[in-house]
């Protein structure tokens, strides 16, 4: 078990499950005062049962500006004059579907949660981060480097986080505020089941023409996602990278977590586009002639 020291305070968004929850538990064990972002009181209570009394659930919906401001005020009041050692922008959803038919509102939702929300939260907590020369840790994905069919909205959101992380890192450099991005591969968390449910909801509302054109490909992608989600690595592995980014004297700018992510990102770097396309299409088992 990790040794306990007082590392200061950290805010984690989306701590009700998966990587956010694992990070909250691990950072609490390390000795951080964790403010764990959740959207329901019950989720906060459940998390409290797994941690020390230091952990405080924080109601925070990254799509809701009033909720973000209220959360920042709550943390500011609790910390009094002390600043924030870290902000972990982890909250995320997966919107999937064929781009030809995907309702634009769904694309908007994807970008609002995974991109706009992260920056809105960062803006709200930066005054507190400045006080303690705290750090920002964004949870990206290997899909921020490799885009795949039917996951276009999600990949776009993670590519955007790569760009925003780089810009923010350079902008905040004068004040010694470090900004890192974590790029995990496949992690077994509830996001896989949630994303399949959401994708099915979207899919069922698409017009017959969409079904005629994309049924076989979408079915194949769903099957692959189902298998992948059950065979990922545990969220605790990502929590270790989050802790490194928070505590290391010189944190890495990027943390590629998992062999799958390392291979995917490396292949995307070295292969010509059309060869990479071919590999991805084969891997997903997409039909050649739908
Ligand atoms: N699992 C993977 O394979 C994987 C790989 C690479 C990157 N990631 C990234 O890791 C992050 C965490 O995902 P996860 O796999 O741990 O999935 P997860 O278990 O589904 O966790 C997602 C978290 O985000 C929260 N969330 C969703 N919408 C929100 C909103 N509007 N405001 C605030 N919180 C919101 C969820 O809260 P509710 O319970 O209230 O919905 C939940 O706590 C995401 O950014 C994801 O893209 C995951």
Q: How many CB atoms lie within 10 A of CB 210?
A: 18
Question: Is residue 270 scored above 70 in pLDDT?
Answer: yes
Cβ proximity of 135 and 77 under 8 Å = no
Distance between CA atoms of residues 117 and 123, nearest Å:
10
Exposure pattern of 28-60 as b/e (b: 16+ CB <10 Å)? bbbbbbbbbbbbeeebbeebeeebeeebbbbbb
- What's the pTM? 0.97
For the domain 9-284, what is the CATH code?
3.40.50.720
Cβ proximity of 125 and 87 under 8 Å = yes
Q: How is 121-177 classified by DSSP, letter by letter? A: HHHHHHHHHHHTT-EEEEE--GGGT---TT-HHHHHHHHHHHHHHHHHHHHHGGGT-
CA of 17 to the centre of ligand 1 (A): 7
Distance between CA atoms of residues 117 and 104, nearest Å:
18
User: Is the Cβ atom of 139 under 6 angstroms away from ligand 1?
Assistant: yes
Tens digit of each residue's pLDDT (9 = 90 or more) over 85-137: 999 999 999 999 999 999 999 999 999 999 999 999 999 999 999 999 999 99
Helices and strands in the chain: count of H runs, count of E runs:
11, 7
Q: Which atom, in ligand 1's list, is nearest to the CA of 43?
A: 39
Tens digit of each residue's pLDDT (9 = 90 or more) over 11-34: 999 999 999 999 999 999 999 999
Question: Is residue 4 scored above 60 in pLDDT?
Answer: no
The mean pLDDT value of the chain amounts to: 96
Nearest 10 degrees: Cα torsion 171, 174, 178, 179: 0
First-to-last C-alpha distance (Å) of the chain = 52
User: Is the Cβ atom of 9 under 6 angstroms away from ligand 1?
Assistant: no
User: Is the Cβ atom of 187 under 6 angstroms away from ligand 1?
Assistant: yes
> Reading across the β-sheet that carries 9-12, which strands appear in turn?
56-59, 33-38, 9-12, 86-89, 135-139, 179-184, 254-257
Closest to 92 measured CA to CA, from 123, 61, 71, 125: 61
Question: Is residue 42 scored above 80 in pLDDT?
Answer: yes
* Residues designated as active site: 154
The percentage of residues in the chain with a pLDDT greater than 90, rounded to a whole number, is: 96
Structure tokens at 164: 């925003």
pLDDT of amino acid 5 = 60
Q: Which atom, in ligand 1's list, is nearest to the CA of 229?
A: 3
Distance between CA atoms of residues 227 and 213, nearest Å:
24
Cβ proximity of 290 and 153 under 8 Å = no
Structure tokens at 199: 């994708």
pLDDT of amino acid 183 = 98
List Cβ neighbours of 231 (8 Å cut-off, separation of 6 or more): 186, 188
CA of 14 to the centre of ligand 1 (A): 6
Mutate to test the pocket of ligand 1, among 191, 238, 242 (most ligand atoms within 8 A of CB): 191
Structure tokens at 100: 């030809």
Structure tokens at 200: 């099915």
Alpha-carbon distances of 184 from 3, 95, 139, rounded to whole Å: 25, 18, 8
The percentage of residues in the chain with a pLDDT greater than 70, rounded to a whole number, is: 98
pLDDT of amino acid 1 = 44
Question: Where does residue 18 fall: left (phi above 0), alpha (psi -120 to 50 degrees), or beta otherwise?
Answer: left
Question: Is residue 2 scored above 70 in pLDDT?
Answer: no
pLDDT of amino acid 283 = 94
Q: Whose CA is nearest to atom 2 of ligand 1?
A: 187
User: Is the Cβ atom of 113 under 6 angstroms away from ligand 1?
Assistant: yes
Distance between CA atoms of residues 153 and 106, nearest Å:
8
User: Is the Cβ atom of 189 under 6 angstroms away from ligand 1?
Assistant: yes
């Amino acid at each position: 078990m990790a040794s306990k020291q007082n590392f200061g305070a950290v805010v984690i968004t989306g701590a009700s499950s998966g990587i956010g929850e694992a990070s909250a538990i691990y950072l609490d064990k390390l000795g951080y005062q964790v403010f764990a972002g959740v959207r329901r009181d019950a989720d906060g209570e459940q998390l409290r049962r797994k941690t020390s009394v230091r952990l405080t659930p924080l109601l925070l919906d990254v799509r809701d500006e009033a909720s973000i401001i209220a959360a920042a005020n709550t943390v500011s009041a609790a910390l009094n004059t002390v600043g924030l050692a870290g902000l972990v922008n982890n909250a995320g959803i997966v919107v999937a579907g064929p781009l030809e038919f995907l309702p634009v509102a769904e694309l908007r939702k994807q970008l609002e949660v995974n991109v706009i929300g992260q920056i809105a939260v960062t803006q709200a907590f930066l005054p507190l981060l400045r006080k303690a020369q705290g750090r920002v840790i964004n949870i990206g994905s290997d899909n921020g480097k490799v885009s795949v069919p039917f996951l276009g909205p999600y990949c776009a959101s993670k590519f955007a986080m790569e760009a925003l992380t780089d810009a923010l890192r350079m902008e905040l450099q004068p004040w010694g505020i470090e900004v890192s991005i974590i790029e995990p591969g496949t992690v077994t968390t509830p996001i896989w089941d949630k994303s399949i449910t959401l994708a099915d909801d979207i899919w069922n509302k698409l017009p017959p023409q969409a079904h005629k054109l994309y049924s076989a490909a979408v079915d194949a992608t769903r099957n692959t996602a189902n298998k992948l989600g059950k065979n990922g690595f545990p969220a605790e592995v990502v929590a270790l990278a989050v802790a490194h980014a928070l505590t290391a004297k010189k944190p890495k700018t990027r943390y590629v977590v998992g062999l799958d992510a390392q291979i995917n990102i490396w292949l995307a770097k070295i292969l010509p586009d059309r060869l990479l396309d071919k590999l991805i299409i084969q891997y997903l088992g997409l039909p050649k002639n739908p």
